[in-house]
Chain A
Amino acid sequence: MFADISDDDDPHVAGMEGISKFCEDLGIDPLEDIRILVLLWKMGANDKPAQINKLEWQQGCEKLQADSIEKFRKILPSLDTGFLDRTEFKDFFKFCFQFNRQGTHRTLDKDLIIALLQMVLKGRVADERLNTFSDFLGQSKDETYSRITLDQWTSFLDFCYEVEDIADYDEATSAWPVLIDEYVEYMEKLQR
Chain B
Amino acid sequence: GGRGIGGGGGGPMGLWDVGMACLRRHMTAGGSDSSADADAMDVDAEDAKPAAVDASSTVLSTLIRHTVSSFLLELDSLEVDASLVRNCVRVLSDLDASLEFLTELSGGAAAYFHREGQGWSLDGNGADGDGPGNGKRGGRLTDLSAYLKRVDGRLRQVNGMASYYLAGTASSASLASLPGLTGQSPVKGGAAGAGGSVSHSRLLSSIVETYLLAPHFTEVGALHPAALHPLLDDESRVVPDCRRLYQLGRRVEGGLDRLRGAFGRYGRERGLAIVRMRPASAGAGAGATPGAAGKQDNRSVIPSLLRLKSHLEDLHRRAFGNDEHFGRTLRSVLEDVANAGPGEKGQSPSVSGQQGGDGGRLVAELLAKHVDLRFKNARAAASASSGSVGALSADPTAGLSTAADDAALFQSSVLSLFRHLHSKDVFEAFYKRDLAKRLLLGRSSSVDDERAFVSELKAECGGGYTAKMEGMFKDVELSRDVMGNYAAYLNSGKMAGAGGSSGEPVKPPPPSEDAAAANGTEMDVQVLTTGYWPVYPTHPSLILPPSLEFHRSRFETYYKSKHQGRRVAWQHALGNCVVRARFPKIGGGNSPRELVVSLCQALVLLCFNDDGDNGEGYTILNVMRKTGLEDRGEAERVLQSLSLGRDGTRVLTKMDRNGPNDASTSSSASSVPSKSKKPRKIRRSVSDHDTFNYNTSFTSSNRRIRITNITLRATPADNAKTHASVARDRLYLVDAAVVRIMKARKTLDHRGLMAETMNQLKFPATAGDIKKRIESLIEREYVERDANDRNRYNYLA
Contacts and interface: CB of A to CB of B under 8 A. Distances in A.
Contacts of B767: 172
B771 interface: yes
Contacts of B772: 144, 178
B751 interface: yes
A178 B770 CA distance: 10
A106 B780 CA distance: 10
23 contacts: A106-B779, A144-B772, A149-B775, A149-B779, A150-B779, A151-B778, A151-B779, A151-B785, A152-B775, A155-B785, A158-B790, A162-B790, A173-B750, A174-B750, A175-B771, A175-B785, A175-B791, A177-B771, A177-B775, A178-B768, A178-B772, A178-B775, A181-B771
Contacts of B785: 151, 155, 175
Interface in B738-759: 750-751
Interface string A10-35: 00000000000000000000000000
Nearest to B776: A149
Interface of A: 106, 144, 149-152, 155, 158, 162, 172-178, 181
A2 to B, nearest CB: 33
B751 A173 contact: yes
Given A106-B779, A150-B779, A176-B790, 12 more contacts: A149-B775, A149-B778, A151-B775, A162-B790, A173-B750, A174-B750, A177-B771, A178-B768, A178-B771, A178-B772, A178-B775, A181-B768
Contacts of A152: 775
A58 B768 CA distance: 47
Nearest to B751: A173
Interface in B394-417: none
A172 B750 CA distance: 11
A45 B56 CA distance: 111
Interface string B785-797: 1000011000000
A152 B778 CA distance: 10
- Dominant secondary structure of chain B at its interface with chain A: helix
Nearest to A159: B790
Nearest to B781: A106
A34 B751 CA distance: 39
Bin the interface of chain B by size.
10 to 19
Contacts of A162: 790
Contact of A175 (B768, B779, B790): B790
A162 B455 CA distance: 55
Contact of B750 (A106, A149, A175): A175
A146 B704 CA distance: 57
Contacts of B771: 175, 177-178, 181
Contacts of A149: 775, 778-779
A85 to B, nearest CB: 16
A108 B450 CA distance: 53
A55 B772 CA distance: 39
Contacts of B791: 175
Contacts of B751: 173
A52 B790 CA distance: 32
A170 to B, nearest CB: 11
Contacts of A155: 785
Interface of B: 750-751, 767-768, 771-772, 775, 778-779, 785, 790-791
Nearest to A154: B785
A172 to B, nearest CB: 7
Closest CB pairs A-B (n = 5): A175-B750, A175-B791, A151-B778, A149-B779, A178-B771
A123 B775 CA distance: 29
Nearest to A182: B768
Nearest to A158: B790
A180 to B, nearest CB: 10
A2 B791 CA distance: 44
A3 B96 CA distance: 126
Nearest to A177: B775
Contacts of A151: 775, 778-779, 785
A149 B779 CA distance: 7
A175 B772 CA distance: 11
Nearest to B749: A175
A10 B771 CA distance: 43
B483 to A, nearest CB: 50
Contacts of B790: 158, 162, 175-176
Nearest to A152: B775
Contacts of B768: 178, 181
Nearest to A149: B779
A152 B785 CA distance: 12
A173 to B, nearest CB: 6
A181 B768 CA distance: 9
A84 B785 CA distance: 24
Contacts of A177: 771, 775
A127 B193 CA distance: 75
Nearest to A144: B772
Contacts of A175: 750, 771, 785, 790-791
B162 to A, nearest CB: 58
Contacts of A176: 790
A176 B793 CA distance: 12
A114 B762 CA distance: 39
A119 to B, nearest CB: 24
A181 B750 CA distance: 15
A22 B115 CA distance: 101
A162 B789 CA distance: 12
A129 B494 CA distance: 83
Nearest to A107: B779
B257 to A, nearest CB: 30
Nearest to A150: B779
Nearest to B792: A175
Contacts of A106: 779
Contacts of A172: 767
A175 to B, nearest CB: 4
A178 B774 CA distance: 10
Nearest to A172: B767
Contacts of B775: 149, 151-152, 177-178
A72 B772 CA distance: 44
B556 to A, nearest CB: 44
A174 B779 CA distance: 18
Nearest to B767: A172
Nearest to B775: A177
B516 to A, nearest CB: 60
A172 B766 CA distance: 11
A88 to B, nearest CB: 15
A149 B784 CA distance: 13
Contacts of A144: 772
Nearest to B785: A151
Contacts of B750: 173-175
A173 B768 CA distance: 10
Contacts of A178: 768, 771-772, 775
B785 to A, nearest CB: 7
A88 B424 CA distance: 51
A99 B790 CA distance: 24
Contacts of A181: 768, 771
A144 B767 CA distance: 17
B679 to A, nearest CB: 49
B735 to A, nearest CB: 16
A172 B768 CA distance: 9
B502 to A, nearest CB: 47
A158 B790 CA distance: 9
A86 B291 CA distance: 70
B243 to A, nearest CB: 45
A34 B293 CA distance: 68
A150 B778 CA distance: 10
A81 B768 CA distance: 35
A143 B397 CA distance: 63
Contacts of B778: 149, 151
A174 B775 CA distance: 13
Nearest to B793: A175
A89 B523 CA distance: 75
A70 B751 CA distance: 55
A83 B751 CA distance: 37
A155 B785 CA distance: 10
